[in-house]
């Protein structure tokens, strides 16, 4: 769990949600269990390897501590309605305000205010949870 903080702020909540989004992207991809390919493995020559554009990105898997922190931050989302959850997660994934505003059919400043209000609500829950 987290080191106990005295007071949660909007910036703390924002940082935790962004870290949760980064951790979620580092998780291994979900695959169908038991899937086996019968095709032979293609062994490429060095010349072919240079011309191939498909390079799978190397991902360092998150540590169990990072996953626990991500799950804790995702539990906070249960305090919000669905629209607020989508808004905060889009912002945690660093989408532009203009993209978020289009998604929610409002201007970018309104999206920012809604995001701040949702993070403020989470910080209130976190601060009253400790008392």
Q: Look up the pTM and report it.
A: 0.77
State pLDDT tens for residues 23-49. Answer: 999 998 887 777 777 888 878 887 777
Provide DSSP, the chain: -PPPPS---HHHHHHHHHHHHHHHHHSPPP--TT----SPPPPPPHHHHHH----PPP-PPPPHHHHHHHHHHHHHGGGS-HHHHHHHHHHHTT--HHHHHHHHTS-HHHHHHHHHHHHHHHHHHHHHH--
Residue 5 has pLDDT above 70, yes or no: no
Q: Which pLDDT belongs to residue 53?
A: 64
Tens digit of each residue's pLDDT (9 = 90 or more) over 76-106: 999 999 999 999 999 999 999 999 999 999 9
């Amino acid at each position: 769990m987290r080191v106990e903080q005295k007071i949660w702020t909007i910036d703390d909540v924002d940082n935790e949600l962004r870290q949760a989004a980064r951790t979620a992207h580092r998780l291994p991809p979900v695959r169908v269990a038991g899937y086996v390919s019968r095709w032979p493995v293609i062994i490429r020559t060095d010349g072919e390897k240079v011309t191939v554009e498909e390079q799978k990105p190397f991902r360092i898997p998150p540590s169990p501590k990072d996953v626990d922190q991500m799950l804790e931050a995702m539990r906070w989302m249960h305090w919000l309605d669905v629209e607020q959850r989508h808004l905060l997660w889009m912002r945690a994934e660093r989408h532009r305000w203009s993209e978020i505003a289009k998604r929610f059919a409002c201007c970018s400043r309104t999206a920012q205010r809604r995001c701040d209000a949702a993070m403020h609500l989470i910080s209130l829950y976190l601060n009253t949870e400790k008392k």
